[in-house]
A and B are shown apart, each in its own frame.
Chain A
Amino acid sequence: MDAILLQILNGLDKGSAYALIALGLTLIFGTLGVVNFAHGALFMIGAFCAVTVQRILNLSFETIDETKTDFLGNPAKVKTAYVESWFGPETGAAIIDWSVPLAILFAIPVMLFIGYVMERGLIKHFYKRPHADQILVTFGLAIVLQEVVKYFYGANPIPTGAPDVFKGSFDFGVMLGFDPNAIIYPYWRLVYFAFSALIIGGVFAFLQFTTFGMVVRAGMADRETVGLLGINIDRRFTIMFGVAAAVAGLAGVMYAPINSPNYHMGMDFLVLSFVVVVVGGMGSLPGAVLAGFLLGVLESFASMNEVKSIIPGIDQIIIYVVAIIILLTRPRGLMGRKGVMED
């Protein structure tokens, strides 16, 4: 039982990342009708926003320490971060320690801007083109973004730590009445889960309870009619593209301490996120979130030794098996609208 609960926790956590990326993908598909294969790259750029803020906060000046030598036997250079010099060692170190949460403030405007430029500069020219063209151009864009990041940051993963207070793990099982050590779970993964829930709730509230959101939802349902009412729906959809980019970016920022960011991490998530979107139902926001968590949990269960001993290799194909079953029995996905892909 404790093993199953642990995998549920794990699955919800994995599902958080899937759901956030799939939510952004669905927002773009639902508003603009574009299949955005560059969405994984936006997640990756978000993670590199965290890396960038970490690097900015670690910007240092060098002094020579004659008592020590470097690897070539020359006098060693000692680095001191400017923030430590300005705010004192303790406060400076604390600021650096909180680089990932601070990166959220940096990532929001950056991702909104990148989303805006992407949509206005490239993707708008492909609205009336077939989905295949959209996939090709956005996939190409993803590769370009990947290579740009690799050029500036290298191919090696870059460790980006959570604040010290959230490092390590705690005995989650004891809270539920299990034996000590039965369910140990990392603090940061719980933070990630809570953060995802907050973002998902925020996006839904924004669409549900603001005038802007209501117009966007109306536009998703019938773009032409909303346009005839004199509302500039295109501009609102452009903003929604920026919001979707920001959601992917924030998912990336907070994911950075879970696995060291690397330039191809977006591609690692992209295919899975598309499966999530299709299983949830193309264009359905609740479907994307539901499918994200569902597939995350199923993937975690499939990784259990007990399951793998019955069906070897199931952990590698479970998501695709479930996708096939759902699409065979319910072609529009779990919560998709009928005929959305035929429009």
Chain B
Amino acid sequence: MTKSDVTRRGVLKTGALAGAGVALPTIFTASSAAAYTNEPTGGTVTLGFNVPQTGPYADEGADELRAYELAVEHLNGGGDGGMMNTFSSKALQGNGILGKKVEFVTGDTQTKSDAARASAKSMIEKDGAVMITGGSSSGVAIAVQGLCQEAGVIFMAGLTHSNDTTGKDKKANGFRHFFNGYMSGAALAPVLKNLYGTDRNAYHLTADYTWGWTQEESIAAATEALGWNTVNKVRTPLAATDFSSYIAPVLNSGADVLVLNHYGGNMVNSLTNAVQFGLREKIVNGKQFEIVVPLYSRLMAKGAGENVKGIHGSTNWHWSLQDDASKAFVKSFGTKYGFPPSQAAHTVYCQTLLYADAAERAGTFNPCGIVEALEGYEFDGLGNGKTLYRAEDHQCFKDVLVVRGKENPTSEFDLLEVVEVTPASQVTYAPDHPMFAGGALGTCNSGA
């Protein structure tokens, strides 16, 4: 007679454990029966818009969401079509993407990498998003790009300016329309040379995270190539709100230029503090002291108020551009919302159209088909002139704008003026440039 140890409780426990074990690996494999992750089978296709809806970049996120909704409206045949009318590719017909009506879900990145990954994961797993786009921080973009690579969906980066996004952290499933720190440096340097000469001493204050580090490196390299001397590079905590104790040492450092590698609230406060301390009125080394903000946005300029007057920086796009595409987008966005779009709105609108167009041209939502359609793709008619989505790193190369805080703004939107449109050729670098070295693009992941 054999003794059995099987009990009712034991069976239940074993069963529960086995069930949990079977259920565990479902992450990103729920669609394994399909050809690729979240293959749309009905009459709709879902896009995931992952933007900061809370936190310090929430206004930027709100503007991104407006642009996304406008893009969806245009893709589905509504509104005036915006830049679909000026886009050089004519694959989009206003009947959704590949005949499927475009739907979207939104997530809140909170400008935190873990929160952004969680909301992107939810949109992929629960909502069946085939593409994730958005963000307003390089830390977030790099984190979500990595997740999309693992999940087998496309990531169309929103606002991310760190070299690393298409440098050491580049991924085959990730694409960036926005420019980067290197391109800001390359665009700004000639303008700074003309304005301030070749004999300058620069002091950098830098936000202490991936974006700040790569921008500091880029701007310092570009200005040192002009002959400028870098006096000091000081990292400031991302959470800092009062920069006075970082500004004060600049006064007696021998520097005659202050470079603020800050963005968002950091830039608003550091620039305000620098102006309060009278840096702009100072004469150092026999020269007028100058402040440079390498990455500008209209929303930031609005926060800093009159402190931005006369201060130079770079931007990806500006609503005052007079090319047909930019005018069409401003008209479309301005009519719908009552104010002009920000550069954040522009870049995410472009990313949505570029994804949709790639799917149309590839004839599939399979990420590998999209990657093939976007790699090395040249287009025009989305503002910034002719643009290349480079195959080697998935970075867009296009004209970069150098802007200046306007002295006499005519409205609350008229804060920056374009002083130079730097041609794409001048901001293009080799894919193996040291600032972008390391990491590997890898191969596309369809999740199959």
Taking Cβ atoms with an 8 Å cutoff, the residues of A that contact B are 2-3, 6-7, 10-11, 13-14, 68, 70-72, 76, 147, 150, 154-159, 161, 167-169, 181-182, 184-186, 188-189, 258-260, 262, 264-265, 268-269, 299-300, 303-305, 308, 315-316
A7 to B330, CA, bound (A): 47
Knowing A156-B302, A260-B268 are in contact, say whether A72-B56 is a contact too (CB < 8 A): no
Knowing A6-B251, A159-B306 are in contact, say whether A72-B273 is a contact too (CB < 8 A): no
Contact indicator A316/B248 (Cβ below 8 Å): no
Chain B positions 294 through 306: 1 when the CB is less than 8 Å from some CB of chain A, otherwise 0: 0000010011111
Q: From B237, B276, B339, give the contact of A315 (CB < 8 A).
A: B237
A155 to B53, CA, bound (A): 9
| Closest chain A residue to B58, Cβ basis | A155
Shortest Cβ distance from residue A117 to the other chain B in the assembled complex, whole angstroms: 25
The tally of residues in B whose CB lies under 8 Å from a CB in A reads 50
In the assembled complex, 19 residue pairs joining A and B whose CB atoms fall closer than 8 Å, in A order, are: A71-B334, A71-B413, A71-B414, A72-B334, A150-B58, A157-B265, A159-B304, A159-B305, A181-B251, A181-B282, A186-B278, A188-B276, A259-B272, A260-B303, A262-B303, A299-B245, A304-B249, A305-B232, A308-B234
Shortest Cβ distance from residue B412 to the other chain A in the assembled complex, whole angstroms: 10
Shortest Cβ distance from residue B252 to the other chain A in the assembled complex, whole angstroms: 6
Q: From B54, B55, B248, B306, give the contact of A3 (CB < 8 A).
A: B248
B239 located at the interface, meaning its Cβ lies under 8 Å from any Cβ of chain A in the complex: yes
Chain A residues within an 8 Å CB radius of B58: 150, 154-155
Contact indicator A262/B265 (Cβ below 8 Å): yes
Shortest Cβ distance from residue B92 to the other chain A in the assembled complex, whole angstroms: 25
Taking Cβ atoms with an 8 Å cutoff, the residues of B that contact A are 54-59, 61-62, 232, 234, 237, 239, 241-242, 244-246, 248-249, 251-252, 265, 268-269, 272-273, 276-278, 281-282, 299, 302-307, 319-320, 330-331, 334-335, 339-340, 410-411, 413-414
Contact indicator B278/A169 (Cβ below 8 Å): yes
A161 to B309, CA, bound (A): 15
Chain A residues within an 8 Å CB radius of B303: 156-159, 260, 262
Most buried by A among B61, B245, B303, B331: B245
| Closest chain B residue to A157, Cβ basis | B303
Q: From A7, A168, A262, give the contact of B248 (CB < 8 A).
A: A7
Q: From A167, A168, A258, A260, give the contact of B304 (CB < 8 A).
A: A260
Q: From A68, A159, A189, give the contact of B410 (CB < 8 A).
A: A68
Contact indicator A13/B244 (Cβ below 8 Å): yes
| Closest chain B residue to A161, Cβ basis | B305
Contact indicator A10/B410 (Cβ below 8 Å): no
Knowing A6-B248, A76-B410, A268-B241 are in contact, say whether A168-B278 is a contact too (CB < 8 A): yes
Q: From A71, A259, A268, give the contact of B273 (CB < 8 A).
A: A259
A260 to B244, CA, bound (A): 14
Shortest Cβ distance from residue A66 to the other chain B in the assembled complex, whole angstroms: 15
A93 to B55, CA, bound (A): 34
Chain A residues within an 8 Å CB radius of B276: 167-169, 186, 188-189, 258
A76 to B62, CA, bound (A): 26
Shortest Cβ distance from residue A267 to the other chain B in the assembled complex, whole angstroms: 10
Knowing A156-B299, A159-B304, A259-B272 are in contact, say whether A14-B249 is a contact too (CB < 8 A): no
Shortest Cβ distance from residue A191 to the other chain B in the assembled complex, whole angstroms: 12
Knowing A11-B245, A71-B411 are in contact, say whether A157-B268 is a contact too (CB < 8 A): yes
Shortest Cβ distance from residue B222 to the other chain A in the assembled complex, whole angstroms: 23
Q: From B54, B56, B251, B414, give the contact of A262 (CB < 8 A).
A: B56
Chain B residues within an 8 Å CB radius of A264: 55-56
Chain A residues within an 8 Å CB radius of B340: 71
Chain A residues within an 8 Å CB radius of B246: 303
Contact indicator A259/B241 (Cβ below 8 Å): yes
A71 to B321, CA, bound (A): 11
| Closest chain A residue to B300, Cβ basis | A156
Chain A residues within an 8 Å CB radius of B305: 159, 161, 260
Chain B residues within an 8 Å CB radius of A182: 252
Contact indicator B59/A156 (Cβ below 8 Å): yes
Contact indicator B249/A3 (Cβ below 8 Å): yes
Chain B residues within an 8 Å CB radius of A156: 59, 299, 302-303
Shortest Cβ distance from residue B61 to the other chain A in the assembled complex, whole angstroms: 8
A87 to B3, CA, bound (A): 101
Shortest Cβ distance from residue A194 to the other chain B in the assembled complex, whole angstroms: 16
Chain B residues within an 8 Å CB radius of A3: 248-249, 252
Contact indicator A10/B245 (Cβ below 8 Å): yes
Knowing A155-B62, A156-B302, A262-B265 are in contact, say whether A72-B335 is a contact too (CB < 8 A): yes
Contact indicator B277/A186 (Cβ below 8 Å): yes
Chain A residues within an 8 Å CB radius of B244: 10, 13-14, 189, 300
Shortest Cβ distance from residue A126 to the other chain B in the assembled complex, whole angstroms: 26
Shortest Cβ distance from residue B89 to the other chain A in the assembled complex, whole angstroms: 27
Contact indicator A259/B269 (Cβ below 8 Å): yes
A304 to B242, CA, bound (A): 14
Shortest Cβ distance from residue B189 to the other chain A in the assembled complex, whole angstroms: 26
Shortest Cβ distance from residue A299 to the other chain B in the assembled complex, whole angstroms: 7
Contact indicator A260/B272 (Cβ below 8 Å): yes
Chain B residues within an 8 Å CB radius of A303: 245-246, 249
Contact indicator B242/A14 (Cβ below 8 Å): yes
| Closest chain B residue to A303, Cβ basis | B245
A298 to B163, CA, bound (A): 35
Chain B residues within an 8 Å CB radius of A71: 319-320, 330, 334, 339-340, 411, 413-414
Contact indicator A155/B57 (Cβ below 8 Å): yes
Chain B residues within an 8 Å CB radius of A157: 265, 268-269, 303-304
Q: From A2, A76, A259, give the contact of B242 (CB < 8 A).
A: A259
A7 to B250, CA, bound (A): 12
Chain A residues within an 8 Å CB radius of B410: 68, 76
Most buried by A among B251, B306, B307: B251
Given A259-B272, A300-B244, A315-B237; 6 other pairs, CB 8 A cutoff: A6-B248, A72-B330, A157-B304, A259-B241, A259-B273, A303-B249
Chain B residues within an 8 Å CB radius of A269: 241
A154 to B237, CA, bound (A): 24
Shortest Cβ distance from residue B255 to the other chain A in the assembled complex, whole angstroms: 12
